[in-house]
Structure 1
Amino acid sequence: MELHLETVALFSLKLAYESEGQSPILRDDLVMGDYQRDVFELLVRRGDVEGILVKVGECVGLALDAVGGVDKPLGRELGRLVGELRSAQTMEQLNTPLISLKDYLKDIL
Structure 2
Amino acid sequence: MRHKNLAILKFFALLFLLPGLAGLVFSAMVSTDYLENLPKSPTPSEQRMTPRNVHGIVIYQTVKEDERLSALEYGSVSIFLVGLVLGVVYLEKWSVVRQAEMESDLLEEAEA
Same fold (TM over 0.5): no
Q: Which has the larger radius of gyration?
A: 2
Per the normalisation by structure 1, the TM-score is: 0.28
Per the normalisation by structure 2, the TM-score is: 0.27
